[in-house]
């Protein structure tokens, strides 16, 4: 599978802080290579994401903010990548996911907040719906990546993690890794 990057549009500092953080956490946990937050900078979101990365690993996962989204999308396409925009108005995910997988090309996955400017519908190679009901960009991203990676992403444990979980029927078991191999970030 080629590289998958998530582009978050329309973040409003304060108001969207938690939802954008969830978008970034889902990007990392569901196997994307990084998340790019368009427009305004929001230190608190970036800080939360980097803190999770430090503890749970995958230090190659990148977080960028303050990016011009149209420029970013155009550069992505010039570089040979494919652009997918998740929107309830698009074509059903199950009707395109195999095609997307078969392309073997880098994917930029755009998720918006409330109103996404028309230009992104035009720039996207695929406008893809995770169902045609209003719900959540966090949910849409998760289900899209889950479909794309065929569920394998849910077994992710990062080799450089300081913490990992041992699954339990009841209660919590977290193992802290003490490293002397230079792998810790």
Q: Are 57 and 160 in contact (CB under 8 A)?
A: yes
- The H-or-E segment that residue 69 falls in is helix 69-78
Q: Which of 108, 110, 138, 148 binds its own copies (CB under 8 A)?
A: 138
Residues of span 83-112 touching its own copies by CB under 8 A: 88-94
Q: Which of 132, 179, 183, 185 binds its own copies (CB under 8 A)?
A: 132
**What DSSP state is assigned to residue 167?**
-
Task: Give the interface size with its own copies as a residue count (CB under 8 A).
Answer: 55
Closest CA to 54 of 176, 148, 153: 176
Instruction: Indicate whether 29 belongs to the interface with its own copies (CB under 8 A).
Output: yes
Q: Are 41 and 65 in contact (CB under 8 A)?
A: yes
Q: Are 129 and 88 in contact (CB under 8 A)?
A: yes
Residues of span 31-70 touching its own copies by CB under 8 A: 52, 56
Instruction: Indicate whether 73 belongs to the interface with its own copies (CB under 8 A).
Output: no
Q: Are 41 and 69 in contact (CB under 8 A)?
A: no
* Contact positions vs its own copies (CB under 8 A): 15-16, 18-19, 22, 25-26, 28-30, 52, 56, 88-94, 118, 121-122, 124, 127, 129-136, 138-143, 146, 151, 153-157, 164-165, 167-174
């Amino acid at each position: 599978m080629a590289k998958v990057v998530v582009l978050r549009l329309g973040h409003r500092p304060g108001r969207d802080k938690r939802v954008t953080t969830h978008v970034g956490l889902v990007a990392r946990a569901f196997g994307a290579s990084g998340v790019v937050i368009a427009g305004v900078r929001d230190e608190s979101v970036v800080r939360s994401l980097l803190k999770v990365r430090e503890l749970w690993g995958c230090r190659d996962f990148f977080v960028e903010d303050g990016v011009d989204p149209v420029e970013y999308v155009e550069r992505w396409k010039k570089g040979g990548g494919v652009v997918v925009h998740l929107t309830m108005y698009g074509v059903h995910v199950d009707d395109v996911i195999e095609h997307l997988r078969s392309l073997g090309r880098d994917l930029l996955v755009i998720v918006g907040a409330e109103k996404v400017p028309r230009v992104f519908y035009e720039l996207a190679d695929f406008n893809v719906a995770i169902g045609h009901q209003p719900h959540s960009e966090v949910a849409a991203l998760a289900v899209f990546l889950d479909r794309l990676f065929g569920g394998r992403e849910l077994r992710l444990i990062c080799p450089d993690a300081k913490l990992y979980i041992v699954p339990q029927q009841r209660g919590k078991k977290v193992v802290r890794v003490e490293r002397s191999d230079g792998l810790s970030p």
